[in-house]
Amino acid sequence: MTNPLRPGDPARIGPYSLHARLGGGGMGQVFLGRSPGGHTVAVKVVHPDVAENPAFRRRFAVEVEAARKVGGFYTAQVVDADPDANPPWLATAYIPGPTLYEAVEGHGPLPRASVAALGAGLAEGLAAIHTCGIVHRDLKPGNVLLAADGPRVIDFGIARALDTTSATRTRTVMGTAGFMSPEQVRGGRIGPPGDVFTLGCVLGYAATGHSPFGEGPIEALGYRIVHEDPALDGIPAGLSPTIRACLAKDPADRPGLEEVLADLTAPAAAAGGDPGRPWLPEALTGIITHRTAALTLADTRREPPTARAARPKRKRRPDTGPDRTGPKEKRRSAPEPDGDAAGTELVVGNLSAEPLDVIVDGVAMGGVRAGGTRAFSPAPGRRSLLVEVPGRRGVVRSINVKADAAVKMAFDIPERRQAVPEPVREVVFTGSRLPTAGGMALLWILLIWGLGGLAAVGATAAGDVHPSVDVTEMLLVIAGLGLAAGAIVGVIGLFVPPSQLTLTHRRLKAGLPNGPKSLSWDRIGQVSVVGNGRTAMLVLWPSEGTSFGKGANAPEGTIRYTAKSIGAADEQSLDRLRAALRWFAGDAYVEQPA
């Protein structure tokens, strides 16, 4: 899945222009790029702080050389690289398919025939890698790409040549917990049988959705890998013997890759033997089809300065006051459309906490990050729009894309299990009724207890208490009255409507005890969320030349609502509130530093 470029991401690496993010990790970031001739590539860029390490640069050069040796039939073919650049980078052919990890986590374990086809393809690929004198040493679900014609092995970051003369480096414990061989855990010498063991781990994961040695701290995983039998429950019949043989503790007891390939060829034929039959389930084949068609992505970088200068500016009040300190962050505008779709624009707002994929007429256009907005440029006409969360298919909707006009749609995900994105015209935040009722009850209890206790003490001191009345009895009566009053007030409070804030394209509506009940956006010059957590506040400033009048409840004529009062006190709700304000308030919303 692709994600938009972020501020600070490079626009170009070497001769390649960058258009989106594909993924990344501790070593670097992978971008979707274009060559000058229009070919799509995946560009791996090393993090600058990592690149400062000479030892890592040597390892990166080894990765480049290893990938070049193997070629592109079993891996993502290297098309260009510069290990000596600052930062170092590597460009490979773009494989428009998910990783095995993405596929299993999003869609569940693979069926038996697909696992067999995966194993056969990986065995063939590893055999080719070993023929080049290389041991991969880090085969795992995240390093296996699922292409339409079979799996590809990627990331030779810790691969080592078989003819290495560095015994110390060969015995270094490097790999991914849960997908290491026993000799790798022990820090022993690693050869081709080590890749056979990790192949068994990967196939077990593909068939069951978890590593054969479970999860947990690396120490516990290492102990299980070295001393305990793998958990192979749930692996389909016919595959278990081969996977179990690959997971033998002693490298000498493991089968060779040729034997693994022979064992898996027959069941693999059921998945990919027919040239017209996909080897993967329909859902994963659909993802590959979408990504294959998505090689033309909208540029997600900032608009050019000339376009920004042409936009009229909204008048704002000066940035003063205790809650308005710090630099402001302005929203980036949608990119300018180009090509055949010039003049058309589809703007998608993501008000959910999960990233969304946008698909128009079956063509994957790209992703919209959680809480963000992104513009696309489909061709004019009646279009089929599908917005989905990876792993959860959405509902197809028809939109009419007109030339020189923008179609704007916001999507949110309801709070229910496996919910799909739904278009929204308003977003509602609701405070809790129970804390308010409980607070009112507690206040009355304390009030009556305090006044009654003072009266009892005063009466006793003055000698006004009848001798037959015990002071303790008086205090118990007062406590009972306080509890009864608190209960009555608490029950009444349950019938008081909870506080509520509603955001639409036209206005902000607040069902709150303070401030006006409704404000159109043209009356609001600026709106910001100030602070974080339970102390956060939603602050409104009036537009130039207007005021909130009696509705103002704070200095400078502002209106302030606590995040707690509108049910947005937790971090996820605050992120959703900020996303909704970006979408509905437009230029009136100004991001404040946390």
* 3-state SS track over 47-73: CHHHHCCHHHHHHHHHHHHHHHHHCCC
User: Among 9, 138, 195, 274, which one carries the catalytic annotation?
Assistant: 138
Distance CA 362, CA 288 (A): 11
Q: Is residue 177 within 8 Å of residue 226, measured between CB atoms? A: no
Q: Is residue 539 within 8 Å of residue 563, measured between CB atoms? A: no
The phi-psi region of residue 79 (left if phi > 0; otherwise alpha if psi is between -120 and 50; otherwise beta) is alpha
Q: Is 138 a catalytic residue?
A: yes
**Pairing assessment for the beta strands 40-46 and 89-93 based on DSSP bridges:** antiparallel
Three-state DSSP at 480 gives helix
Q: Name the E strands within 324-445.
A: 344-350, 356-360, 363-368, 373-376, 381-388, 397-401, 405-412, 422-424, 426-430
* Alpha helix positions (H), 235-274: 240-246, 257-272
Distance CA 478, CA 455 (A): 10
Q: Is residue 134 within 8 Å of residue 157, measured between CB atoms? A: no
Q: Is residue 228 within 8 Å of residue 220, measured between CB atoms? A: no
Distance CA 407, CA 160 (A): 52
Please enumerate, by residue number, every residue annotated as part of a binding site: 44
Determine the residue type at 150: G
Q: What is the DSSP letter of 120?
A: H
Which residues, in sequence order, are CB contacts of 182 under 8 Å at separation 6+? 197, 225, 226, 249
Tell me whether the omega of the peptide bond preceding residue 516 falls within 30 degrees of 0, making it cis: no
Q: In Å, how far are 449, 467, 476, 497, 564 from 489, measured between CA atoms? A: 15, 34, 20, 14, 22
Please enumerate, by residue number, every residue annotated as part of a binding site for ATP: 44
Q: What is the DSSP letter of 99?
A: B
Q: How many CA atoms lie within 13 A of 446 on its CB side?
A: 6
Task: Quickly list DSSP for 272-300.
Answer: HSSTTS-SS-HHHHHHHHHHHHT-S----
Residues known to be catalytic: 138
